[in-house]
Chain A
């Protein structure tokens, strides 16, 4: 009798109790796939939400809702008053921030993503060099292109995988923003309206949560290599002279095989020695230029010098804008804590003496000689 009673309770409860207070019918929910944030003329937050249209006939279509408010949640609530489906943030793929807003500080925007467990902290952070609202509205009209959320997501994801840019999701940004002595690097995208394209053109350097400068994608790769976050990527070296009327330089694939960063305090000044060792394969060169032993050494030396020069240039730039993307401050804090405590890192960072030693081993030249 007792077992029968238990069995009945189990069967009845499993049929009738299906979390019915909180169930959400897929067709009735509008998923925010992108959230664009910028400041409007009155200094309030202007958010643009992109929701996919879930209908068989309009598979590539999105709905855009623009709302303003002083809080992100306020703008979402406002969007719920406009959208036919209930706006939910659980599927946000990217948070697009205008450059103007990025320059004034953006960490507060991400607080809601951390606080509400339903919001994903895995969304990418992307800076847009103009208005996210304008960009998303123009992208809505793109023909024969994936819709904005999928386009930008693939663009950012593929380039992060190719070590062109840092993988900067919300939690990465928050970690680097909160940690003293490390600053985030966020990709910048640019709209090429005529060609109906999005161009991942630069990377923003931050100091804390404020954007303070921007570097090229090549410089971003060098910074990632010096940060030991570079796995495998393509580089073009213009300083190599080739016997061709058309071509200038060589295209290579590099993989970082050894990384070493030594931070020391000498005469009350930090000195940073970075050693990088790459394995290199020539991807594009010219006909008949054989990689003989003496030529190989000569090329390796040329590539090394070009890379060292570029590394020092980008490090100098980070010092000029006072952004520490390599996290040298964090190493000093960990290793020379008394020095860290007795100095203002923002002032000290500008005086760091950098020394970069690059080793390149040309390991192959593809199928051709």
Chain B
């Protein structure tokens, strides 16, 4: 096993959080509030529990193939050709999500500051350090991902500083939404937890697998609690009617802060949040890169693959012409992402029929 890709269960946990949170917060909480009102947190809680079940399936599957990544498992289960087709679709999925992450990052930078800088310039400037990070291997990627903790703490500090604006009445009456509304909310909020589907790609690199399940469930719980804190805070500050008008409510929390010493306090938050989304980008880009190496069974020349992956992502970014197409792609990819998790569960069941490669 390559030492520079070895990670422990804590790093696996950070990888899971980073892959969830960055994209999760860009998933529109206002859409959730539009459907469920101030009870959106209930839908988030249910989605979190559903993902706990997916994590358990993931874990059981990966534990049957101790030192194999999902790219190898698919080939063992479904044969070389069908396995390769499945792997290719996984790679396209991770590339597409990477391109959406990149586009979201660029969009936020453009909305809040650099309005006239061309997308391609921002895209290249974002992708260069990301690509450099990938050359260091999974261990370096996970070390970088620790920054997500700092990003999350920053957001919590901003929320804490806004506590005087909280109006608890905005959160009441609790559980006003009916089951159909909460179900619709689950359909929206469940996409916020995506990122877990990447775990089988890196799981074989974990050195202390006995702690992995506990850490993955903990990661999912942290993400869930974090989302709940954000949505409760946003509703308590802005009220559900106003929140329905917003694209990224968390950014508006940053905008309501003022300081006698600093102008545009929101920009400090924004700088941090760019790193947050960058973390998710790194997770998906790393997965795409690993998938491609596996697909073409490459032993050397990994730098070319990194370069190719980054070019693909920048090229794919051009597919997203406007926010409507982004929304459309995000919806399709969200469904595809959930499909991948269901597919892992199917793989688990199938692994009891086709036992090739199963660890004893």
Q: Please give the residue numbers on chain A whose beta carbons come within 8 Å of chain B beta carbons, in ascending order.
A: 6, 9, 13, 17, 19, 21-22, 90, 114, 117-118, 120-122, 169, 171, 174-175, 178-180, 327, 330-331, 333-335, 337
Contact = CB atoms under 8 A, between A and B. Distances in A.
A171 B114 contact: no
A118 B117 contact: no
Contacts of B258: 122
Interface size class of B (residues with CB under 8 A): 20 to 34
Given A114-B245, A179-B167, 19 more contacts: A21-B117, A21-B121, A22-B117, A117-B111, A118-B112, A120-B255, A169-B256, A175-B165, A175-B237, A175-B239, A178-B238, A178-B241, A178-B242, A179-B239, A179-B242, A327-B167, A333-B172, A334-B169, A337-B176
Contacts of B116: 21-22
B132 A175 contact: no
B125 interface: yes
Interface string B106-150: 000001111111100100010010001000000000000000000
Interface in B223-248: 237-239, 241-242, 245-246
A179 B117 contact: no
When A and B form their complex, which 4 residue pairs have the shortest distance between CB atoms, in order from nearest?
A: A334-B172, A178-B242, A21-B117, A334-B169
Nearest to A174: B242
A13 B146 CA distance: 25
B251 interface: yes
23 contacts: A9-B128, A19-B114, A21-B114, A21-B117, A21-B121, A22-B116, A114-B246, A114-B252, A118-B112, A118-B115, A171-B255, A171-B256, A175-B239, A178-B238, A178-B241, A178-B242, A179-B170, A179-B241, A330-B170, A334-B171, A334-B172, A335-B172, A337-B176
A160 B321 CA distance: 46
Interface string B240-284: 011001100001100110100000101000000000000000000
A13 B239 CA distance: 44
Contacts of A117: 111-112, 251, 255, 266
Nearest to B110: A22
Interface of B: 111-118, 121, 125, 128, 132, 165, 167, 169-173, 176, 237-239, 241-242, 245-246, 251-252, 255-256, 258, 264, 266
A327 B114 contact: no
A17 B125 contact: yes
Candidate in B111, B115, B255 with the most chain A CB atoms within 10 angstroms: B255
A356 to B, nearest CB: 20
A13 B127 CA distance: 14
Given A117-B112, A117-B255, A178-B245, A327 B169 contact: yes
Given A175-B238, A175-B239, A22 B115 contact: yes
A6 B239 contact: no
Contact of B169 (A9, A169, A331): A331
Contacts of B165: 175
A89 to B, nearest CB: 13
A175 B114 contact: no
Nearest to A335: B172
Contacts of B252: 114, 121, 171
Contact of A6 (B117, B132, B172, B173): B132
A93 B265 CA distance: 15
A337 B173 contact: yes
A121 B256 contact: yes
Contacts of A122: 255-256, 258
Contacts of A6: 132
B255 A121 contact: yes
A17 B118 CA distance: 13
Contacts of A21: 114, 116-118, 121
Contacts of A9: 128
A17 B128 CA distance: 13
Nearest to A332: B169
Contacts of B111: 117
Contacts of B172: 333-335, 337
B177 to A, nearest CB: 12
Contacts of A337: 172-173, 176
A334 B173 contact: yes
Contacts of A19: 114, 117
Contacts of A13: 128
A174 B239 CA distance: 10
A32 to B, nearest CB: 15
A335 B171 CA distance: 11
Nearest to B170: A179
A122 B246 CA distance: 17
Contacts of A330: 167, 169-170
Contacts of B245: 114, 178
Contacts of B266: 117
Nearest to B237: A175
A174 B237 CA distance: 11
Given A117-B255, A334-B169, A337-B176, A180 B241 contact: yes
Among A19, A117, A122, A180: residue with most chain B CB under 10 A: A117
Nearest to B174: A334
B127 to A, nearest CB: 13
A362 B59 CA distance: 68
Nearest to A337: B173
A122 B265 CA distance: 11
Contacts of B170: 179, 330, 334
A122 B252 CA distance: 11
Contacts of B112: 117-118
A19 B112 CA distance: 13
Contacts of B171: 334
B278 to A, nearest CB: 17
A90 B169 CA distance: 33
